[in-house]
Amino acid sequence: MRLKLLSPGEMTDDQKQTYDESIAGKRGAPPPPMMAWLNSPEMARHATRLGGFLRFDTLFPAKLSEIAILVTARHFTSHYEWFAHKRLALKGGMDPKIIDDIRDRRTPHFDDPKGQVIYDVAKSLHEGHGLSKALYDEAVKMLTVRGLVEIIGLCGYYTMVSMTLNTFEFELPAGEISELA
């Protein structure tokens, strides 16, 4: 870890307010990247609120939203993000084979066509920097415009999370080994 993370007793009033808000939310604990973002308390406040919305209040259940998050974690080889969200994807009911395929950079097979579109959108956003007309049209038809906006939000937010975790070299919990090469 490149950065000393503050304990609540070391935080300024502004930092502590953001920290307290994060633990009072649906997460129940501060998201790890927020602990780095607290060096910019106002950014931390807005980013953590956005992250809470994207994690819990989009149109999609975890089984689907975690596809976009895992594609993003894999794109950035974000070891901590992968570790955390693989568990959440499994808990949300995602097929372990899909997770393995994303990890190994193979195109997964989805029983749910929405899952396939979310995967295709996330891959295209990261690798192609946008969507073809055909993929855009399919995404709007399958996910709705709101759903597409929320998948873009998931990919963008978790890009910032990945960059934060990678830059400050967040370590996995003791005894855990990264699955990402």
pLDDT of residue 27: 81
Q: How far apart are CA 125 and CA 135, in angstroms?
A: 11
Angle between helix axes 96-103 and 79-91 (nearest 10 degrees) is 160
Q: Residue 112's pLDDT is what?
A: 95
C-alpha span between 96 and 78 (Å, rounded): 19
pLDDT band of residue 180 (cuts 50, 70, 90) is very high
- Tell me how far apart the 2 most distant CA atoms of the chain are, in Å: 53
Residue-wise pLDDT for 132-164, tens only, equals: 999 999 999 999 999 999 999 999 999 999 999
pLDDT of the residue at 176: 95
Q: Is the pLDDT of residue 29 over 90?
A: no
Say how many C-beta atoms besides its own lie within 10 A of residue 53's C-beta: 14
- Judge whether 106 and 132 are in contact, CB under 8 Å: no
Q: State how far the Cα of 137 lies from the Cα of 144, in Å rounded to an integer.
A: 10
Neighbouring CB atoms inside 10 A of 78's CB total 26
pLDDT for 83 equals 97
Residue 44 has pLDDT above 90, yes or no: yes
Question: What confidence category does residue 131 fall into, taking pLDDT thresholds of 50, 70 and 90?
Answer: very high
The Cα angle at residue 171 between residues 161 and 44, in degrees rounded to 5: 35
Please name which of 82, 93, 92, 107 lies closest in space to residue 177, comparing C-alpha atoms.
82
What's the pLDDT score for residue 178?
A: 96
pLDDT at 1 over 90: no
Task: Provide the pLDDT for residue 25.
Answer: 81
Q: Which pLDDT score is estimated for 94?
A: 97
Q: What is the mean pLDDT of residues 24-52?
A: 92
CA 161 to chain CA centroid, nearest Å: 7
What residue has token string 């927020």?
A: 34
